[in-house]
Each structure stands twice: as C-alpha cells, then as structure tokens.
Amino acid sequence: MEDCIFCKIIKGEIPCKKIYEDDMVLGFEDINPTAPIHVLLIPKKHIKDINEIANEDLNLMAHSLGVIKDIAKQMNIKENGYRVVLNCGKDGGQEVPHIHFHIIGGRKLNWPPG
Ligand code: AMP
Ligand code: ZN
C-alpha cells in the first residue's frame, strides 16, 4: 500500500513516537491527541477497516487486544481506565484507511460520544 501513511510509518518512511512494537503490530503516539494519553495501535499488515478483516486476520486482532492491555499498563492508565476506539468508514469518522485502535485515557472521558 504505497500511499498509506500508516504503512509508511511501519516502513520508517514517516517518523513516529513509538510506544510498542512486535512482529505483528506497532503502537505510537497520535499526532493530534484528544487526551493526555492517545496511542494508536496498528497491524503491520495493511487492512483497510473492520469490514476488510479476513478470518485469517482474527488471530492478529486478538493479539492486538492483548497488546492494548499491555500498553495500558505501560502508559499507567490501566487502573483508572481508558477507552479503545475502532472507527470504521465515513460515518464512523475513519480518516486513515489502515485499521487502527485508538487507546485513549489520562482523563475522565465523556460518554456517549457524538
Ligand atoms: P481516524 O479518524 O480514526 O482514522 O484516526 C486517525 C488518527 O490518526 C487521528 O487521530 C490522527 O491524529 C492520527 N494521525 C494521522 N497522521 C498521523 C501521523 N503521521 N502520526 C500519528 N498519528 C497520526
Ligand atoms: Zn496501510
């Protein structure tokens, strides 16, 4: 995916503030944080959105949830709580077409979202 900014971050062509990395996923700080802690976790495989998750990707998604738990601990938001957001498509507010989990915390978050 040559034009995908998140694929470029994975390849090191665009810099990021890395929080976590393994062979399957990369976690980095959101460039425009909406809370004191705002981390994005992306699979290294280019998957456009939730609708494009194949059965063979389900292990990757489960792995991502396990990593999110570890990142929450690493960022010291585990105890107070946090929100994990997966926007999908136009109405869902997805701007970058490479699936990504937002991990947001460090303050009391409003609910419900708009
Ligand atoms: P979404 O609207 O769910 O697609 O979220 C995209 C997120 O990516 C937004 O929160 C942006 O602030 C963030 N973002 C876009 N470009 C970068 C970048 N180069 N580095 C870090 N975060 C980015
Ligand atoms: Zn991509």
For atom 12 of ligand 1, which residue has the closest CA?
Answer: 32
pTM of the model as a whole: 0.98
Rounded to the nearest whole angstrom, what is the distance from the C-alpha of residue 3 to the centroid of ligand 2? 8
Q: Is the Cβ atom of 96 under 6 angstroms away from ligand 1?
A: yes
Catalytic residues: 100
| Domains contained in the chain, CATH given | 5-105 (3.30.428.10)
Q: State yes or no: cis peptide before 113, omega within 30 of 0.
A: no
The model's pLDDT over 42-88, given as tens digits with 9 standing for 90+, comes to: 999 999 999 999 999 999 999 999 999 999 999 999 999 999 999 99
Query: Residue 104 in 3-state DSSP?
Result: strand
Host H or E run for residue 21: strand 18-21
Residue 19 neighbours by CB under 8 Å, 6+ apart? 27, 28, 29, 39, 71, 74, 75
